[in-house]
Structure 1
């Protein structure tokens, strides 16, 4: 009888270990690498935009640093912000002085439902940048084709590498750069793209503003689970 009880207890313990192992296997890692700017192939995943598409004179580039052999590679998003317009432009722009880098639309969706934070390792220039997450369109009217956008400011002190962490619940719903005054929640399981952008005006208090050059160095972008 005691032998049967021992076998029964051993079977229960083995089942518990198996279930525990399976549960750990199902849990996602604590962090997920989204973008890594350590090769020139990373540039192919992004495209640039600026007010120049609407008659403005701002310009931007995205390059991988050309450093000494053996040194780690990083991405450099840089350019010039201008508040001027092309002579004879037919566009009626309400504001100029902006540039951005946006990831090409994902093949399907990026699912970050198991994570609660976006982290970036950056070296800035004293300006305030904007991190945008684009999700599948469900907030706007059915006839609206644009992706939903959720934005948060990113500020990194000048001249130092810094890991900035932005909780997903800090991203606010926006429409063409303006915050939507509505109680909406992001669906992190249906992300279709991300971007980093910069404006000549606005941003967090104390950040550099106005027209002129900008430069943001990017090492990586990750999703974190606390």
Structure 2
């Protein structure tokens, strides 16, 4: 068969396939799982961090436990405002812990979605949800990923699905909101994190040093519009 006939047949086949496509084939599903804390393998996708890396005394752990009707992740620990006496770091603040996903193999595309949802159960504290996107600028002075943060309140003792519109995430630099004209690129998400601070947060939420605990079932992207 000549090369021309091969191309012609391939074109006809592709055209027939296109004509039989259904609308739902062209529209992404209304939700997309990003993380599901239903196995110990899931923990390998995350790492912990805290002020202890800089002389603080906070601590955190991440485990998979049976939640009665299945497995879920438990992010817990203790927030301390104290600093080790022999610390070589001159830190301005302590009292924070977080769990951050390891970088995705490439990136995930959330451009078709407008909301991040977390099924969680906690302690009445407010936590910080962070989305990391590929750095558009890649300037010599900033090689880090762009980070976008939003507060999420975690009610005490009951499962709750927190839904955070992506346009509520604010650009941040090392935990501080920055005043810049910058839009998130949801098509190039490279990682996520969930963290907690002893101070600050949503008014009315539990705050201060002491124990914290949040249970996580899953994290999804939703299309609500």
Compute the TM-score of the two structures, normalised by the length of structure 2.
0.89
1:67 to 1:187, Cα distance in 2 relative to 1, 3 A: closer
Does the 8 Å CA contact 2:117/2:164 hold for their aligned counterparts?
Answer: yes
**What is aligned with 1:113?**
111
Matched residue, 1:29: 29
Offset from partner CA, 1:8-54 (integer Å, 9 cap, x none): xxxxxxx9x96473442121100000000011111010000000000
Question: How many residue pairs end up in the alignment?
Answer: 210
Corresponding residue of 1:215: 213
Equivalent residues in 2 for 1:2-41, closer than 5 Å: 19=19, 21-41=21-41
Q: Distance in 2 between matches of 1:211 and 1:143?
A: 35
1:3 match: none
Contact 1:31–1:223 (8 Å) recurs in 2: yes
The answer to whether structure 1 residue 155 and structure 2 residue 162 are counterparts is no
Please give the TM-score of this superposition, normalised by the length of structure 1: 0.88
Structure 1 residue runs without a partner (length 5+): 1-14
The Cα shift of 1:141 comes to 3.5
Q: Give 1:142 deviation, angstroms.
A: 3.6
Aligned to 2:212, the other structure's residue is in SS state strand
Aligned partner of 2:75 in structure 1 is 77
Aligned pairs for 1:118-157 within 5 A: 118-138=116-136, 141-157=139-155
Name the CA distance, whole Å, in 1 between partners of 2:163 and 2:121.
Answer: 14
Gaps of 5+ in 2: 1-14
Q: Which has the larger radius of gyration?
A: 1
Structure 1 residues 155-182: Cα deviation after superposition (integer angstroms, max 9, x where no partner): 0211110001000000000001110112
Answer whether contact 1:119 1:224 (CA < 8 A) is retained: yes
C-alpha separation in 1, matches of 2:116 and 2:52? 29
- Tell whether the 8 Å contact from 1:139 to 1:148 is kept in structure 2 after alignment: no
The answer to whether structure 1 residue 57 and structure 2 residue 62 are counterparts is no
Does the Cα contact within 8 Å between 1:140 and 1:148 map onto a contact in 2?
Answer: no
Offset of residue 67 of structure 1? 5.3
CA distance in 2, matches of 1:201, 1:67: 29
Instruction: Provide the rounded CA distance (Å) in 1 between the counterparts of 2:139 and 2:92.
Output: 24
Would the alpha carbon gap of residues 127 and 46 (structure 1) be closer, same or farther in structure 2, given more than 3 Å must change? same
For residues 102 and 138 of structure 2, the distance between their equivalents in structure 1, rounded to whole angstroms, comes to 21
Secondary structure of the corresponding residue to residue 53 of structure 2: helix
Check 1:133–1:67 CA distance in 2 against 1; reply closer, same or farther (3 A cut). Answer: closer
Alignment RMSD (CA, Å): 1.8
SS in 1 for 2:24: helix
Deviation at 1:139, TM superposition (A): 5.0
Query: Shift in Å at residue 132 of structure 1?
Result: 0.1
Is the 1:137–1:147 contact (alpha carbons within 8 Å) kept by the matching residues of 2?
A: yes
